[in-house]
Amino acid sequence: MTYLNNYKISPITNYLDDGEQILEPSKYYDIENISNLICPCNSPFTVLSLNAQCLQSKLDSLKIYINNLIDSSVTFDAICVQETWINNDADCSLFKLDGYQLITKSKTCGKHGGLAIYLKDEISYRTLEVPFKHANLWECQILEIKLNRQNKKILLGNIYRPPRNLKENQEKFLEDLEVLLEILDNISGTFILAGDFNINLIKIEEILL
């Protein structure tokens, strides 16, 4: 998960000598040192993921954040946004970012849903539609991206699952997610999954029991 003023890295999994897994706390990076973290030469495709909780009210903050990153020589090829609150009647031209094309998916699993991916103008893509058994519980958009500069294909997923912590809801989501991963595993290319899952990975074993 990424915040507008701090860059949060996902927990790192390490292993003890006896093989037991441990999760280290996520680290935070401000704009001043994020440029040291992301090196374009080592990152042929970069993705920023954030939960907006209403894109319309946060758009100005997002623009300022992106411009500050550009001033630090940091740019992202894609920006995945969850909880846009965008519906079918929204005028998506109001949410444009300079230099990016906007691909949206209207909210379907509650009034605080909705997804969006900002993709650099020069990057070509097509949307993949994947049906899910419990599509009313979570939202997903998948882009198949062609990187001409590296002659590579990337599958970019953007996911939002509302914080419904009933074990049954979490199990259904994980069931659908497994299906998605199996489908994408059969498609050639690099797969990048971003989003807000609202699942405590430290307690994942309790869900799977």
pLDDT tens, position by position, 107-135: 988 889 999 999 999 999 999 988 899 98
Which of 176, 181, 3 is closest to 82 using CA atoms? 3
What's the confidence (pLDDT) of residue 3? 35
Q: Is residue 27 part of a domain?
A: yes
**4-13, long-range: CB within 8 Å, 24+ apart, which pairs?**
4/50, 4/58, 4/61, 4/62, 4/65, 5/30, 5/31, 5/65, 6/30, 7/34, 7/37, 11/201
Q: Is residue 92 part of a domain?
A: yes
pLDDT at 2: 34
Would residue 152 count as lying in a domain? yes
Q: Is residue 180 part of a domain?
A: yes
54 belongs to a structural domain: yes
If one counts every other C-beta atom within 10 angstroms of the C-beta of residue 141, the result is 21
> Structural domain of residue 144, as residue ranges?
7-208
CATH number at residue 91: 3.60.10.10
- Estimate to the nearest angstrom the gap between the alpha carbon of 77 and the chain centroid: 12
Residues of the chain short of pLDDT 50, as ranges, are: 1-13, 15-16
pLDDT on residue 4: 37
In a domain, 171, yes or no: yes
Separation of alpha carbons 58 and 53, rounded Å: 8
The pLDDT value given to residue 140: 96
Residue 33: its pLDDT value, please? 72
Instruction: Please tell me the predicted confidence (pLDDT) of residue 19.
Output: 56
Q: Is residue 165 part of a domain?
A: yes
Spatial distance between the Cα atoms of 164 and 30, rounded to a whole number of angstroms: 30
Q: How far is CA 165 from CA 54, 97, 140, 176, 186, in A?
A: 22, 34, 19, 16, 31
Q: What is the pLDDT of residue 12?
A: 45
Task: Judge whether 64 and 82 are in contact, CB under 8 Å.
Answer: no
Number of structural domains in the chain:
1
Give domain status of residue 1, yes or no: no
Measured CA to CA, the distance from residue 82 to residue 2 in angstroms comes to 11
